[in-house]
Structure 1
């Protein structure tokens, strides 16, 4: 199981980069987790857009889904050029009718998941946990039967996330604010809360993502390390974990 960071900024992308987007791979199966602004451009450094087998979305805020329309057009164009009729499956929650309905296009099909669903997607098993965020949003736990990855998506600190993340090999945690700031008001976490989540859940490794556009981001690692003694890293394009 391989996890590659494609985009990692919160809200909007820095120049030449992307917001939330991650590539999950195993045995030739390629799944995109979230598809934020700039994601399609950056994704093509790693895979062909028609090489994707599935997309899974955490929620419908633009920094997580802005390039879905662009991805749909890419499949339309490529199918036309190659005279194929391939379809891409996009999984998203059904609690936002407008957001979910946009997932189905000429060559993409939206499939709804619920918070208590277990989905078999390629070689992976996906489970979901509702997060604490201004709109319906779901953390995602991914297993290949040997390793476990948890992606918090967007959330303020919540004990349910501790249970959901328990003993994960890799925790990818949103880290939108620095210690001492009021992250909960916006439905996000601080660096220290990310560290606390990792420690309480007994995870092996912590990746900080959904990063802020201000401050010295190395301070996020320092602050998280006050709570968690395990491996902590900042996300960047191309960062890879392989179980």
Structure 2
């Protein structure tokens, strides 16, 4: 299993960093997780839009799904339209992004599979296990399993004992880490710190930890230091073009 980071910036993209977006490949299958703002141009540096086999979305905030719209447009409006794209998302999470175009314009471009966080299902060679994690909107923490490895992605989440449970024994935990050590009080139930992500990774016995969704302008070294206070394994930050083989 291979993870390629397209972006990992929280809230909005910067000049050098797209928002959340991850390409996961295994056995020739290409799964795009959370096509957030500005991730499509990064994806196009690696493969044609028609080469994406499926999309999996953790929740409906636009920094995690907005570029689904141009992805579908690029597949549907070209001279040789691509087959309908399998898209998996929590119920109603994609209502807003799919309403950006006139009704029916992209209807043939996708096959929408809505799920409830807590469901388990297959996507190509992956077994996907999901769990409801606390956020401003329903968010699915995701555990992807193949015979070769386990990848866990939190989406956006606040503190929850479900995170280390979901990540138990994972080869890689990709964790929300909006702030290094302290989330502002009004958001503290719905966002995570790098420090707590490190402790969760340690409790889970994860082999590696990758911090993502850092607030724009956050010093990466500070986030890495905070995570390293609790986690004794390798820690990185999700930056464009980073490739991790599991």
Q: TM-score range by the shorter chain?
A: over 0.9
The answer to whether the aligner puts 1:198 opposite 2:201 as a matched pair is: yes
Residue 172 of structure 2 is matched in structure 1 by 170
| TM-score w.r.t. length of structure 2 | 0.92
Residue 11 of structure 1 is matched in structure 2 by 11
1:181 Cα deviation after fit: 3.7
| TM-score w.r.t. length of structure 1 | 0.93
Worse-matched range after superposition: 104-113 or 164-173: 104-113
Residue 57 of structure 2 is matched in structure 1 by 57
The answer to whether the aligner puts 1:34 opposite 2:34 as a matched pair is: yes
1:128 Cα deviation after fit: 0.3
Residue 89 of structure 1 is matched in structure 2 by 86
What is the aligned residue count?
240
Residue 107 of structure 2 is matched in structure 1 by 105
Separation in structure 2 between the aligned mates of residue 5 and residue 85 of structure 1, nearest angstrom = 24
1:122 Cα deviation after fit: 0.9
Residue 227 of structure 1 is matched in structure 2 by 230
Write the deviation string for residues 66-124 of structure 1: whole angstroms up to 9, x where unpaired. Answer: 1111111101123xx12x46111111111548358659623112111122322111111
Question: Aligned Cα RMSD in Å?
Answer: 1.9
Separation in structure 2 between the aligned mates of residue 6 and residue 25 of structure 1, nearest angstrom = 13
Residue 190 of structure 2 is matched in structure 1 by 187
Contact residue 93 and residue 100 of structure 1 kept, 8 A = no
- Structure with the greater relative contact order (CA < 8 A, sep ≥ 6): 1 or 2? 2
1:160 Cα deviation after fit: 1.1
Write the deviation string for residues 157-181 of structure 1: whole angstroms up to 9, x where unpaired. Answer: 1001111111100000011012134
Contact residue 94 and residue 100 of structure 1 kept, 8 A = no
Residue 122 of structure 1 is matched in structure 2 by 124
| Change beyond 3 A, Cα 1:190–1:97 | closer
Separation in structure 1 between the aligned mates of residue 10 and residue 176 of structure 2, nearest angstrom = 9
Q: 1:192 aligns to what SS in structure 2?
A: helix
Separation in structure 2 between the aligned mates of residue 101 and residue 43 of structure 1, nearest angstrom = 20
Q: 1:35 aligns to what SS in structure 2?
A: coil
Q: 2:184 aligns to what SS in structure 1?
A: coil
Worse-matched range after superposition: 176-185 or 139-148: 176-185
5+ residue gaps in structure 2?
A: 101-105
5+ residue gaps in structure 1?
A: none
